[in-house]
Amino acid sequence: MSLKRFCNSLLILVFITVPLYLGAEQLYDRIIAVVDDQVILQSELREVLGLELLRRGIEPDQKEMVEQLKKELLEAMINDRVLLIKAKRDSIVIKDREINDALNEELERIKGQFSSPQEYERQLKREGLTERELRKRYREEIKNYLLKQKVMASLAQGITVSRREVVDFFRANADSLPRQPEMVNISHILLKPSVDREQAYQRIQQLLERIRSGEDFDMLAQEYSEDPGSAGEGGDLGWFTRGTMLPEFEEVAFSLEPGQISDVVETDLGYHIIKVEEKDGDKVRARHILIRTAPSEDDIKAVVNRLAELRRKVVDGEDFADLARMYSQDTQTAAEGGLLGWIALDQLPPAFKTAIDRLSVGKTSQPFRSWLGFHIVRLNERKSERPLSLEQDYQLLENMVRQEKLKEAFNRLIASEKQKIYVDVRLEEQ
């Protein structure tokens, strides 16, 4: 399971309400499997089952299919626990930085599914969540995923694939292989609205001076903090551990003693003042005041107008790549003329997909907004959906064979590990 697929599941878990129509079993909870010293609860299986029913379009009244899927999912959950137990026994360690990097990467990808930062925040609010709670909720899942990935990576090291195996696999499965999806080759120019950070900094400095002059932190937070999740509580963030806040914020919060107040702290959200209330081992309870560094409407309008001007230059014959090198603020692609390369159309963020859906090859879109900022995008090439071929898709086919062999090795590993630990399945018990 790829990290991308894993966090697609996270997105569903957060932003889709799981249907609560799976029967009377929901009125209570019970243990349905024991794996060594770990248990799997019926509520856990029910949640995963609800997601899979949604994903596969299966109706709950299709009882035979639901029951079969339930058994398959429980087996997968048991195997999951077995793999984690092996990782623990093999003393595999995941560093905090690895967890934070993976969590930050996937949250950014989730944000990219929304048309704007504001829409993402509105959706969180509708679900009664803050980003901090989202981080806390999925930190352990990310850690477990990385542990399992290390076990699987070790398993994959011993797998080799010959050309003969690839050819045989293709010939045996040609009629049932998935089709190559529609692909687009695109370039873009990214511009980000300028932000009056100086004004925001002056505001937070004034608040810091008032706090140091003796004014009440809680009252100032209620009146001025721009964090909707904590302002009403006097800036109280509750207890948190490392990895649930932005790294710059955590570095300061964990360095303070109870009662201490920080200097101004800058993060991607804006400027903070942090007050630590309590500390208990690796946990901290803190308050903060946030002044956001957000662009004004005039800032946004100026960027859109600038992109529209660059688009006119392209339409008039100037080279898109040259303009991207000069003006794009995407440090990853600017030097390459804004080239994003080949991407499956259905894997593009919604804003990009909408922008290029009706573009013909060689044309450039109107300005549009994404989580990163504002863009224009050029459609360089487009490839229609097609059957896989041995010549064009050898690397993909080779990877399919590798995955099949890895699956077989995984099944052998799980069977071997189950002989060493206690496994008790109670799904059929009533």
Q: What is the DSSP string of 250-309?
A: HHHHTTSPTT-B---EE-SSEEEEEEEEEEETTEEEEEEEEEE----HHHHHHHHHHHHH
* Burial bucket for residue 113 (CB in 10 Å: 0-12, 13-18, 19+): middle
Two structure tokens written together for 224: 């001025």
- Rg (the chain; Cα; Å): 26
Q: Which CATH number fits domain 183-194+296-383: 3.40.50.720, 3.10.50.40, 3.40.50.1980, 2.30.110.10?
A: 3.10.50.40
Residue entry with tokens 């429980």: 74
Q: What is the pTM of this model?
A: 0.60
Per residue in 105-147, pLDDT tens?
A: 888 777 777 767 777 878 887 777 777 778 777 888 888 999 9
Tokens 């994903």, residue? 55
Fold held by 197-292: Chitinase A; domain 3 (3.10.50)
337 backbone φψ class: left, alpha, beta (φ>0; ψ -120 to 50)? left
Percent of the chain with pLDDT over 70: 93
Please give the pLDDT value at position 386.
94
| Maximum separation of any 2 CA atoms in the chain, in Å | 79
User: What's the rounded Cα separation, in Å, for the pair 365 and 316?
Assistant: 14
User: Residue 402: helix, strand or coil by DSSP?
Assistant: helix
What are the residue boundaries of the structural domains of the chain, listed by start? 3-158+421-425, 183-194+296-383, 197-292
**Which parts of the chain sit beneath pLDDT 70?**
1-28, 115, 428-430
* Residue 369 dihedral angles phi and psi, to the nearest 5°: -110, 140
pLDDT score of 82: 94
CATH homologous superfamily for the domain 3-158+421-425? Porin chaperone SurA, peptide-binding domain (1.10.4030.10)
User: What's the confidence (pLDDT) of residue 126?
Assistant: 79
- Which of 119-123's residues contact partners 24+ apart within 8 Å by CB, and which partners? 120/371, 123/15
Domains 183-194+296-383 and 197-292 share a fold: yes
